[in-house]
Amino acid sequence: MRLMDKMLAVSAGILFVLVLVLTLLFALSFRQFSIYTAERHVRSVAEAVKVGLTESMINGTIGKRQQFLARLAGVPGVNQVRVTRGTAVIGQFGPGLPGEGTARDDVKSVLATGKEVFELIDVDGSLVFHAVIPYVASDQGLPNCLQCHAVPAGTVLGAVTVDIPFAEVRRQGIVAVVMISAAVLVAALIALAVLRRMMNPLSQTARTVQEVTSRAVGGDFSGRVRQYSADEVGEIAVNINRLMDFLEREVNTIRTRVGQLMDHRAREGGNQLAHTTELVESLVEASQFKQAIEEDQTKLEIYQRLAGILRDKCHIKRFSIYEVAPSKNRMTAISIDGEVGATCRYCDPQVMVDASFCRARRTGHQVNAVEFPGLCTMFRPASAGDIHICLPINQSGATGCVVQIVGDAGEASLATLMVPFIGIYLREAGPVLEAKRLMEHLRENALRDPMTGLYNRRFLEDYVGALVNSSQRRKSPFSVLMLDLDFFKQVNDIHGHEAGDKVIKTVADLLIRSLRASDMAVRYGGEEFLLVLTDTTAETALRVAEKIRAEIEATKIPLPGGILCKTISIGVSEFPTDADTFWQVVKFADVALYKAKAGGRNRVVRFVPEMWDSEGSY
């Protein structure tokens, strides 16, 4: 129910109750007044009867009292007047005229108690005010009752019964009550109409305020409230319109600015306030994401967080994250559907070998196959109807990563909707990934020998703890090989340092080809190399060392002045068989290398305890 209807209903109810109460009060008051008037009337008639009878007694005309009573009964407004003698009068003067000696019950009660009776009775269908008033002997004034009656003062000499018509009084009363009630009702209706007119601006304003605020809750601030009056209600309308102007202007500004920041075109319709709030919350979450990834140690942790955003927040089930190596123009699959290290699943494998085949990598722009199907020829859908959107992460003016979103036709709208939000995270992640990549590159350069590309001794020092802990945890041995080129100083002396560098590079390349991915090659000194063969016993390491020795011996190194052949000596020791510390194992491998040098060079020697005397010398 509307406010206006409620207020009018309440007001009408109050006025109705007021009219009803006033009508009842008027009716009761008029009844009481009519009874009071009738009572005064019958008292006057009864007093006239008393005076008349007393005068008749004094003047000796008491015998003609019946005529007096008849004339009195004929007075307008009097139906009947009758006198009934009391016991004392009957005893002194007899029963009197017919009817004066007999009494009805109410008269007998009055004669006995001396208390008057007033009541409304129905006589032949007509309402009559019936009164029985006692005639009490009094010694006051002259003449008085005691002059004729031999009774003490206060004796009930008789009773006067008077009946007067009451129907006309009641009719007049009803007419008066109806007229008064009608007047009150008319006044109430007039008051209700005036109230309605006064409340109409409030009701209209309240209704329009409800409509405007309901639209505002739904994000539409274009509604305005009409001003119906110039009072406080009108001021409310003006202030609400000002508020709507402010909200519409500021929300649109915020939405537009945030949309520009997100490179997202604000959609029309819908709840603009909720949409704006959603955009702002996305910016806040992206800022928190950036703060989190800045504290991550490696790029892989950042990629894992990004995969979590795609999967958990954006509800993308299938996706790929590729990293581009600009120097090699290759792409590496970092995470496929959240699986780290998985192989390329939704693209032609050519993009892994030559990154220029990837359209997003090549152009640095979004590839949206939802709007433009078949845009990228490298996409390999898992099933018919699959779509994809590729988003590049630009770093230093080039594409450093590519995020691929894959879905079926039913997921296309969700993917399109999520692209601007994903773009925020990618823009935040780009600089951080670039910084991590540069740090890893600098760290990698600091831990590698610039000439051979092998790890250096600094890396070995950092790697020792993890190597030993892994071996002890898995209870698996590893072997250390110390290698030293034979007569290398002669190469520099005879052929020059460039030839020496070429020999070192050739040996380093051969070592890299001879090792597994889990093994490690370190340039330990000028012409010294150290190899760590994980999960390898000394016996196996001896076979690997012999193979390396033989390959180096058979390798011909071309020089400007001819062909050069070199040999190498190798010492082998095992952890933890030979020693329970890494550097002691390295020392033992060096001892074995010394024995190989002393034994004629170009050979492999396994460390045995006899090579190490009690003083720790060899």
pLDDT in tens, 150-163: 778 878 888 888 88
Whether 215 maps to a domain, the answer reads: no
Query: How large is the average pLDDT for residues 25-42?
Result: 83
What percent of the chain shows pLDDT beyond 90? 19
Q: What is the pLDDT of residues 310-366, one digit of tens each?
A: 888 888 889 999 988 866 688 888 889 888 878 888 898 888 888 888 998 888 899
Q: Are residues 165 and 18 in the same domain?
A: yes
Q: What is the pLDDT of residues 284-312, one digit of tens each?
A: 877 888 888 888 878 888 889 889 988 88
Query: 87 near 111, Cβ under 8 Å?
Result: yes
Whether 221 maps to a domain, the answer reads: no
Q: Are residues 399 and 503 in the same domain?
A: no
The total number of residues shown for the chain amounts to 618
Q: Are residues 596 and 468 in the same domain?
A: yes
Beta 478-485 vs 568-575: how paired, if at all? Answer: antiparallel
Q: What is the pLDDT of residue 443?
A: 66
Q: Are residues 585 and 505 in the same domain?
A: yes
Nearest to 192 by CA among 26, 20, 18, 22: 18
Whether 284 maps to a domain, the answer reads: no
Q: What is the pLDDT of residue 614?
A: 39
pTM comes to: 0.49
Whether 234 maps to a domain, the answer reads: no
Query: What sign has the CA pseudo-torsion 597, 601, 607, 613?
Result: negative
Whether 490 maps to a domain, the answer reads: yes
Instruction: Name residue 471's amino acid.
Output: S
Range of the domain at 158: 3-171
Whether 200 maps to a domain, the answer reads: no
Query: How large is the average pLDDT for residues 9-19?
Result: 82
Q: Confidence band (pLDDT; 50, 70, 90) for 615? A: very low
Q: Which token pair is 549?
A: 């020795």
How many Å apart are CA 137 and CA 559, to the nearest integer?
173
Higher pLDDT, 475 or 10: 475
Q: What is the pLDDT of residues 564-609, one digit of tens each?
A: 899 999 999 999 999 999 999 999 999 999 999 999 999 999 999 9
Query: How large is the average pLDDT for residues 210-237?
Result: 79
| Number of domains into which the chain is organized | 3
Q: Which of 139, 156, 171 is the last residue of a domain?
A: 171
State phi, psi for 478 to the nearest 5 degrees.
-140, 155
Q: Are residues 22 and 153 in the same domain?
A: yes
Q: What is the pLDDT of residue 222?
A: 76
Q: Which of 145, 171, 197 is the last residue of a domain?
A: 171
Compute the C-alpha angle 465/471/474, nearest 5°: 135
Q: What is the pLDDT of residue 261?
A: 64
Nearest to 163 by CA among 280, 44, 79: 79
Q: Are residues 382 and 486 in the same domain?
A: no
Q: Are residues 484 and 397 in the same domain?
A: no
Q: Confidence band (pLDDT; 50, 70, 90) for 508? A: very high
* Average pLDDT over the chain, rounded to an integer: 83
